[in-house]
Amino acid sequence: MTTKISYAVAFITGVGLIFLGTRFLLSPGIAEAGYGIHFNEQGDYSFHYMKGIRDTLSGLLMCLFVLMNERRALGVVLLTGTIVPVTDMLIVLSKSYNSVLQAVPHIIAIIICFVFGIILLTTKPSKIIL
């Protein structure tokens, strides 16, 4: 049961990352504001595109591992991927114009990645009887 819940949460998170990444690629200004930073890009959206590709790839990997029933690979991606929301949160909190409120989505992502990564790595696979 915990594996199914973990898969569902990971899949929803993966879809969310695909959405966020796509938004950074298609609407960088809007995505920037939602991320919690103000970047004086002067028409150069290189940072936005890099973040967009990173988030899209992460989301695709998570969704593919769920669909392929790759429990351990998904657990490793979630657990090691915790570094992404941690560093994102530190970037957001380093800005003087932000408060803890802008860090909340990153904190939630940290908790999801860590908790469900551990669950997926420590849960023994159930035997499927046909």
Dist CA 51 CA 49 (whole Å): 5
Q: Are 27 and 63 in contact (CB under 8 A)?
A: no
Query: Which of 103, 120, 92 has the alpha carbon at shortest distance from 10?
Result: 120
The whole-number average pLDDT for the span 66-70 is 95
- Could you read off the pLDDT of 19-64 as tens digits, one per residue? 999 999 999 888 887 777 777 778 888 888 999 999 999 999 999 9
Q: What is the pLDDT of residue 24?
A: 93
Query: How many CB atoms are located within 10 Å of the residue 29 CB?
Result: 12
pTM of the model: 0.84
- Could you read off the pLDDT of 85-100 as tens digits, one per residue? 999 899 888 888 878 8
